[in-house]
A and B are shown apart, each in its own frame.
Chain A
Amino acid sequence: MSNFWNFLLIGVSNGLVYSLVALGIVLIYRSTRVINFALAAMAMFSTFIAATLIDRNVPYFVAFLAAMVFGFLLGAVTERFVMRPVESKSPLNAVIVAIGMLIFLEAMAGVIWGAKLRNFPSYFSLIGLKIGGTRLAISDFDLFIVAVVVVLLLALSVLFRYTKLGLMMRASAFAPEVARLLGVRVGRMLTLGWGLACAAGAVAGLLAAPKVFLFPNNMDGVLIFGFTAAIIGGLDSPVGALVGGLLTGVALSFIGGYLGSDLETVGAFLILVVVLMARPEGIFSSMSARRV
């Protein structure tokens, strides 16, 4: 098995986690024009909830679901009570509030659980799979990541494409005023959107934690790569989030593998510059499509 294939597979596995974070960013951005930097902290907080439950002998998958629900509620409450009052003023103010939330939540996690690095159980083995005597770089857990992300994305696309609720959410995101005139309760849709986005973030946190460990700012780096992925994809396109995540994950894996891991962050910047020079609003943005 050559390095090339290993780097590719690791890249896909990491990239799917970035896709989830990117999706969380996109879901919120396209409905409220806010970049939710607090997503990292919300994901981390939800993961800590799962870790606490697992410590108390709650089964892994129950804890997993509980963390998703917690993420959902955290996102919904944040939108309703923290973001709603500032959203209307200016997007920049809302971004600063999100940054304030990030600092606050990370510090509170430090107060509650301590700032120490801790392991997070992965349920599936992290040891590379064996095929015909050669060990691959991907493990059972990576396959689990693929499965979870695929299921989640399918569920979300069914929700958005084929349900009344999804139609109302998309209408609220694209044209809030028109949606209100058609009787859609836009405020509720925004709350729901934040909830879903942060639940996706919680899943990203649960999937990343076994690899990046669990501590109050463990998701900061993942968030920035997820943000990179969202931008590459075009900030308002869920499909773009998936593709952007995979591109980012694979590219960083190759850069890290062939050139050294300390160049990954520089690589992320260069990829972003190259993509944005070619398409200043990302690859899949509907804004640029519409102007044609």
Chain B
Amino acid sequence: MVTAKPEPRQAPAAAGPQGLRRLFGQPLVRNAIVGVVALVLFYLLIGHLGQYRIYQLSQVGPYVIALAGLSVLTGQNGQISLGHGALMAIGAWTLTLMQLHTKSPLWLMLIASALVTMVFGALLGLVAARLRGPYLAGATLALALGLPDITTRYQSLFGGYQGLEVNQPNAPAFLGATATPTEWLAIIEMICVVVVMVLFANLLRSRVGRKFRAVRDDEIATQVSGISVPRTQVLAFALSAGAAGLGGGLFALVSGNVSPGGFSVVLSISLLAAMVIGGTGTLAGAVWGAAIMVYVPEWASTLTQKLSLNQSVSANLALAIYGFLLVAIIMVAPMGIQGIVRLVIFKLRNLRKEPG
């Protein structure tokens, strides 16, 4: 689990040279190792999955990254955003336009979608630093509504309502001749997810992370103690936007298309809901939230299709189930899914401490 909670240091044991031990003690190294292990497991896993399952899995990745950013912003820094869908759109169009007009390599396009969105996020952060709670929510929501309309205004550049096609990269030779673009994309995503998660996990443990939380808990006290509240808030917004932009770039690759319809207000609202349901402020919660965004609607529509209703009714019924579940989960688990997971872990640990 990659969260900001400091873990108790192990008591020194006899085995192993001192240098190696100190290296393992470093959070960055430890998180990186967890990440690499996750990556290897993931690679082994997709070898056993069908193409459709892999495609489904690769829909989760962009959301994980965007949600991690949103969760850091809201849960750790106390700023709400209903505009992360629009930030994803900026990343998506950055990647698409680069693919269309330049011959940049994939890694460069992905970094560019993060950086361009980060710059935009910093600007938005300057506005956000003056606003609180619902006022910030309203301003970002208006952005989420307005931004997609710009793409229809400048059709020649952004492709209007239909949007633009995005080519999926071919798998490199070292993955073997049978590797499909879908598998390659899933691996790229997992790499991005690991990199972003490790970076965020370390950020949250660092001085910057403490500043974020200080601003969230008490702005006045933080300002008095010599930390610039607006600067911290702009930084949080920029970093969060960077993650959303990278998520957006990957989203474009997975969808094979970018269009204003894909980045409507609904996306922004769904991201916020998924963040809360996953567990606000936790990176693991971002994974739960992303999985819910992809799998619950899918599962609900499979369920309603079995009822042999007409198509419109079954589609709407699936949505209704999704809405109902949102309400139900918040009622049952106010701290989100990660809140439940932590509770279970806590109980299990206590059980082990006091056997019988």
**A221 CA / B74 CA spacing, docked (Å):** 25
Q: Is A136 an interface residue (CB 8 A)?
A: no
CB-CB contacts below 8 Å: B140-154 with A: 141-143, 145-147, 149-150, 152-153
Q: Is A175 an interface residue (CB 8 A)?
A: no
Interface size class of A (residues with CB under 8 A): 35 or more
The stretch of A7-15, A69-77, A263-271 in contact with B is: A263-271
CB-CB contacts below 8 Å: B301-348 with A: 312-313, 315-320, 322-327, 330-331, 334
SS of A interface (majority): helix
- A267 / chain B contacts, CB cutoff of 8 Å: 146
Residue of B at shortest CB range from A235?
Answer: B134
SS of B interface (majority): helix
**A96 CA / B273 CA spacing, docked (Å):** 6
Q: Is B277 an interface residue (CB 8 A)?
A: yes
Residue of A at shortest CB range from B138?
Answer: A231
- A111 / chain B contacts, CB cutoff of 8 Å: 313, 316-317, 320
- B276 / chain A contacts, CB cutoff of 8 Å: 92-93, 96
Q: Is B101 an interface residue (CB 8 A)?
A: no
Q: Is A224 an interface residue (CB 8 A)?
A: yes
**Among B152, B322, B331, which residue has its beta carbon within 8 angstroms of that of A86?**
B331
**A93 CA / B318 CA spacing, docked (Å):** 22
**A230 CA / B269 CA spacing, docked (Å):** 19
Q: Is there contact, CB below 8 Å, between B326 and A97?
A: yes
The stretch of B56-64, B112-120, B125-133, B227-235 in contact with A is: B125-133
Chain B: interface residue total (CB-CB under 8 A): 46
- B316 / chain A contacts, CB cutoff of 8 Å: 107-108, 110-111, 115, 216
- A280 / chain B contacts, CB cutoff of 8 Å: 130-132, 135
Other CB < 8 Å A-B pairs besides A262-B149, A264-B149, 12 of them?
A35-B137, A82-B327, A85-B331, A86-B331, A95-B272, A97-B330, A104-B323, A108-B320, A221-B145, A263-B153, A266-B150, A270-B146
Residues of A within 8 A of B (CB): 29, 35, 37, 82, 85-86, 89-93, 95-97, 99-108, 110-111, 114-115, 216, 220-221, 224, 227-228, 230-231, 235, 260, 262-270, 272-273, 276-277, 280-282
